[in-house]
Copies of this chain bind each other. A is one copy, B any other.
Amino acid sequence: MAVYTEVGETELFEFMAGYDIGQVLSYKGIAEGVENSNFLLRTTGGTFILTLYEKRVNAGDLPYFLGLMQYLAGHGLSCPLPVTRRDGETLGELAGRPAAIFTFLEGMGARRPMPAHCRAVGEAMARLHAIGQGFPMHRANGLSMPTWRPLFQSCPDRVDTVEAGLSREILSELDHLEARWPTGLPAGVIHADLFTDNVFFLAGDLSGIIDFYFACNDLLAYDIAITLCAWCFEPDGSFNLTKGAALLSGYQSVRPLEEAEVAALPLLCRGAAMRFLLTRLYDWLTVPDGSFVTKKDPREYLRKLRFHRTVASAGEYGYTAIGETG
């Protein structure tokens, strides 16, 4: 939640000369996005989001992210559309940073998702996966399973201050995940960060998906696992079976899961919980207090991980095969 870069009027006007979207009326830094600086831009042509990519984003990945948003929007998935410049590109440079302008997406994140929201996000994720099958670019997942152990090893030597015995628990879990991580499941483009603040709703209907800066090619069911973790737990840490069932049935209304995916789901959920446990743990121990980045408690994902360890089959997430009655 920050604006890292100040943008002067003169340089903004120069940048805008590369576009065909009218005269600037106003621009205001908005508190959205951890990795980038975002501005709400109003022109005589409409309302837009101006994004400046800061150091945390690898500039080499931007063509994948922007190309993907363009592709998804072009195939009917509602997401911010990068505006094409006069020179045909979607990426420019502003204040010494790569920068792009996007159409503005109305709507609000569902801070307290209900089962209907979970069904809608499941359905939209399946559409993203289906459309993504035709997207020609490829990006490896920078936070895939093999990166977790090195990420854990790079954490400062104070992991057990977060919770006694945590190091041992993580190492044992990593052993388990590395030994059993599935191969051969359907793969393709995944969002990889479908948290509630990245899915907008308007009058109860899903109005679009934002923030594709973790998107990559990986197992489709792993995206489901991330999303189950993000949407279907209650604030008290309990898993809400009704929400899980809604999410999975929404997903299957577009793309029915294969048997091997269903079988792998508990393990993939353990992996998803591990991935967010580790990145939060790393930030928790390394980001200085009082910095602009709001640190999230890693223990939330430790509790989720422990829940997933108790799950024997996808039925405990609310899964029912298509045609069965739940």
Contacts and interface: CB of A to CB of B under 8 A. Distances in A.
Q: Is the interface of A mostly helix, strand, loop or mixed?
A: loop
A107 B32 CA distance: 22
Contacts of A23: 203
A274 interface: no
A29 B202 CA distance: 18
A312 interface: no
Nearest to A40: B40
Contacts of A86: none
A262 interface: no
Interface in A9-41: 9-10, 23-32, 40
B40 A30 contact: yes
Contacts of A291: 290
Interface stretch (A108-116, A169-177, A242-250, A299-307): A108-116
Given A110-B9, A288-B290, A30 B27 contact: no
Given A1-B3, A3-B1, A40-B40, A27 B288 contact: no
> Copy number of this protein in the oligomer?
2
A2 interface: yes
A29 B1 contact: yes
Kindly state the interface size class of chain A when it binds its partner: 35 or more
Contacts of A42: 47, 106
Contacts of A40: 28, 30, 40
B27 A28 contact: no
A42 B104 CA distance: 11
29 contacts: A1-B29, A2-B31, A3-B31, A8-B111, A8-B112, A9-B110, A9-B111, A9-B112, A23-B203, A25-B106, A25-B107, A26-B107, A26-B108, A26-B200, A27-B108, A28-B30, A28-B31, A28-B32, A28-B40, A29-B31, A29-B32, A30-B31, A30-B40, A31-B31, A40-B40, A42-B47, A42-B106, A288-B290, A289-B290
